[in-house]
Structure 1
Amino acid sequence: MSASASFTSIPVLDFTQTLSPATKPGFLAQLRDTLINVGFLYLQNPPISHDVQDTFTAKGLELFHLPLEKKLKIEMVNSPHFLGYSRLGAEITALKPDHREQFDFATELPAPGPDEPLYRNICGPNQWPDEITIPGFRQALELYLSEVHQLSTTFTALIAEALDLPPTAMDGVFDHPQQHKLKLIKYPPPPASQVDDGIGFQGVGPHKDSGFLTFLLQATPHRGLEVQNKSGEWVSAPPLPNTFVVNIGRALEALTGGICTATTHRVCLRPDNFVDAEGNSLGPRFSFPVFQGVSPDLSADKITLVVPDHIRALVKDEKAKSDAEATFNQMFKTSIGEGTFVARVTSHQDVGQRWYPDVLARALQGQREFSA
């Protein structure tokens, strides 16, 4: 694929190729091309225990079967850290409510102290469901998150190598301990009356992930995830057996000056995505992404990443470079945590209204002025 060509499918990279000196160079070359030209990939044969993944998936589905009153005991509005349960339609993307119900969890961390910056509240302790209600849920989730954390560490080193950098080149952009955010998402079939023009109903509106990398487990066989190529066309990313979908976030794009591409994507809920080939109902779609974030305190003066010129020369799209520079300046003009915090406040406005009403008011005013 040339740097100017638009992709028409999502590349599949086999993780097992990284385990042999004979096949690793081919993997890194394929990864380099994908980082520059696509920003999305299927990672086949990821090093995640099948037992851990299956147990986590089963417990995740069980969580959604709880009665509403038990879900509301851990509703996100109770957490200043944006963790917990969100009702259907509670999150907003691209200024429209998403047709999804979800639970947000993260690496368990203590709440920030009173002298720490306000944006540090994007990190903190989880709200856990009652152990009696779902025995073993917390253990299953933390085991799964631990294995994905190990994969994210390995994959970060592979990205560095694909850019002809030392494997440890990006270690300094993370906190220790590093927080990963995990969403458990349920997409019910769309209301028949609200599907129009054949486009579909908004499961999640068009957006780019804000973090470093995303590791997505598509837990059911539904189609719906779509990725936008450089021509503006939407490319389907259906579930493939024994794969994760991995995509680049805006932080990684900014850190590499646009070499790694953060790609716009969405979840589109069409009625035909909720039936199998024989027309039988598949029920709701379930999706479990893990978001690898960088340190909230990261700012431009703390970034020392220098990508070699011969790698930079592979990026031919000047607009992409310009956009990445603007993204870098916006994300890191103070600290990345401030931008992430404001984004959470505007995405979860009930949480913002309860815990950070002044921040929410300023952010909404800024949105109105920007769109005027």
Structure 2
Amino acid sequence: MVHSRCFSESSATFTSIPILDFSQTRSPETKSTFLACLRDALVNVGFFYLQNAPIAPLVQHAFTVKALELFQLPLEKKLEIEMVNSPHFLGYSRLGAEITALKPDHREQFDFATELPAPGPDEPLYRNIVGPNQWPDETATPGFRQATERYLSEAGDLTESFTKLIAEALDLPPTALDEAFDRPQQHKLKLIKYPPPPEPSEESSGFQGVGPHKDSGFLTFLLQATPHRGLEVQNKAGTWIPAPPLPGTFVVNIGRALEALTGGICTATTHRVSLREEDFQDVDGQSLGPRFSFPVFQGVSPDLSSARISLVIPDHIRRLVKDEKVKSDAEATFNTMFRGSIGEGTLVARVTSHQDVGQRWYPDVLAKALQGQRDFQSQ
């Protein structure tokens, strides 16, 4: 079994991914059940399916159609908005351009975000992770921007509602996490295409959809737009648990920022996208073609640091985490991965993942980051 409705496991080695029903939040009689399920998912799994999300089906459909159309553009049109042209890491990335776990990902993608202006010249360098989009030529993709902005707006409303729901699940006031976010928030959106690898049997020789990693932000809301399998979640025993598409659901997962904010109570879980041959076939062995997935990433303020965190989480919630190593890892996140603040760490992560962008806009940051990787590998 790869999923369940809602459960409570005392073991860290979860074997299923729960399904939460957002419609339960609309009634006082059922909201407490939803919050209990959410708490279990936050503490024990780090992932859950969400059904009945408040994103209009027509909005979702229109966006999906336009997103698929975008990938059909000729390469020269895609390159007009290549990410290397954006200091804000927004735009088009060719197949294999992004690096995860020190290996190139076998995926082609576009990055967009809530439309916001570039930072001023006196703001910290890491503030450049927020900025305006590169939009494709409207004559080449009529209606794409409108459909995408509408989808991102509704998805953004959903992410912000979860800021309050998570606080309530931890027995905190609904506004307890508000200080972690800028106003307005910028939500990131990836449009990802995973072609079948040319030689699926060579996956172990270097092909990966996305290598094992944990997301760096607050929450991720993933729309799996095609019926492909391939997304896998790792439990604490090291077993990979499948997270196949379920009709009418989003896959939601916890990022490192939320884990750090809660001192390890909310767990960020390692996941990957595999490229096995069977993941690109239906039950009859027929090809499904490329896999498409569209995650929305809810980030926190780039200025957020441990000094700004003032959460006082109730003892009975803190005791839910039995693993002291999880707590210590979370407490160290700001000083290691995030280099003291979310923005600084995110900029370093972006330049190492998109090294062409780093070389053009942030060569000193990239050189220092790559040297840090070499030093770590030599230890």
TM-score band by shorter chain is over 0.9
Tell me the residue number matched to 1:304.
Answer: 310
1:186-238, Cα deviation, whole Å (9 max, x unpaired): 000012165256x9941000000000000000000000000000100000000
- 8 A Cα contact 2:110 2:190, kept in partner: yes
The one-letter amino acid of 2:373's match is Q
Residue range with higher mean Cα deviation, 7-16 or 318-327: 318-327
- 8 A Cα contact 1:3 1:36, kept in partner: no
1:145-224 matched pairs, under 5 angstroms = 145-192=152-199, 195-196=202-203, 201-224=207-230
Q: What is the DSSP-based 3-state SS (H/G/I as helix, E as strand, rest coil) of the residue aligned with 2:241? A: strand
Tell me the residue number matched to 2:37.
Answer: 30
Q: Quick one: which of 335, 341, 359 aligns to 2:365? A: 359
Q: Which runs of 5+ in 2 are unaligned?
A: 1-7
Change (3 A) 1:91 1:200: closer
1:310-339, Cα deviation, whole Å (9 max, x unpaired): 100111111211211122433565321000
Is structure 2 residue 117 aligned with structure 1 residue 110?
Answer: yes
The one-letter amino acid of 2:310's match is T
Q: Quick one: which of 72, 75, 79 aligns to 1:72? A: 79
- How many equivalent residue pairs? 371
Distance in 2 between residues matched to 1:200 and 1:75, nearest whole Å: 25
The two structures, once aligned, show a CA RMSD in angstroms of: 1.3
The one-letter amino acid of 2:369's match is A
Change (3 A) 1:90 1:119: same
Q: Which runs of 5+ in 1 are unaligned?
A: none
Tell me the residue number matched to 2:298.
Answer: 292
Tell me the residue number matched to 1:62.
Answer: 69
Distance in 2 between residues matched to 1:250 and 1:371, nearest whole Å: 22
Tell me the residue number matched to 2:139.
Answer: 132
Distance in 1 between residues matched to 2:147 and 2:124, nearest whole Å: 32
Tell me the residue number matched to 2:3.
Answer: none
Distance in 2 between residues matched to 1:31 and 1:254, nearest whole Å: 18
1:49-81, Cα deviation, whole Å (9 max, x unpaired): 000000000000000000000000000001111
Distance in 2 between residues matched to 1:108 and 1:2, nearest whole Å: 41
Distance in 2 between residues matched to 1:259 and 1:328, nearest whole Å: 16
Taking only the aligned residue pairs, the percentage that are identical comes to 80
- 8 A Cα contact 1:182 1:290, kept in partner: yes
1:4 Cα shift?
Answer: 2.9
Tell me the residue number matched to 2:17.
Answer: 10
Residue range with higher mean Cα deviation, 248-257 or 317-326: 317-326
Tell me the residue number matched to 2:99.
Answer: 92
Change (3 A) 1:332 1:367: closer
- 8 A Cα contact 1:217 1:244, kept in partner: yes
Change (3 A) 1:331 1:170: farther
The one-letter amino acid of 1:361's match is A
Change (3 A) 1:54 1:196: closer
Tell me the residue number matched to 1:256.
Answer: 262
Q: Quick one: which of 340, 345, 353 aligns to 1:339? A: 345
1:306-365, Cα deviation, whole Å (9 max, x unpaired): 111110011111121121112243356532100000100010000011111111111101
- 8 A Cα contact 1:300 1:333, kept in partner: no
Distance in 2 between residues matched to 1:334 and 1:200, nearest whole Å: 33
Distance in 1 between residues matched to 2:335 and 2:124, nearest whole Å: 20
Distance in 2 between residues matched to 1:219 and 1:141, nearest whole Å: 14
The one-letter amino acid of 2:253's match is N
Change (3 A) 1:200 1:11: farther
1:147 Cα shift?
Answer: 0.3
- 8 A Cα contact 2:334 2:342, kept in partner: no
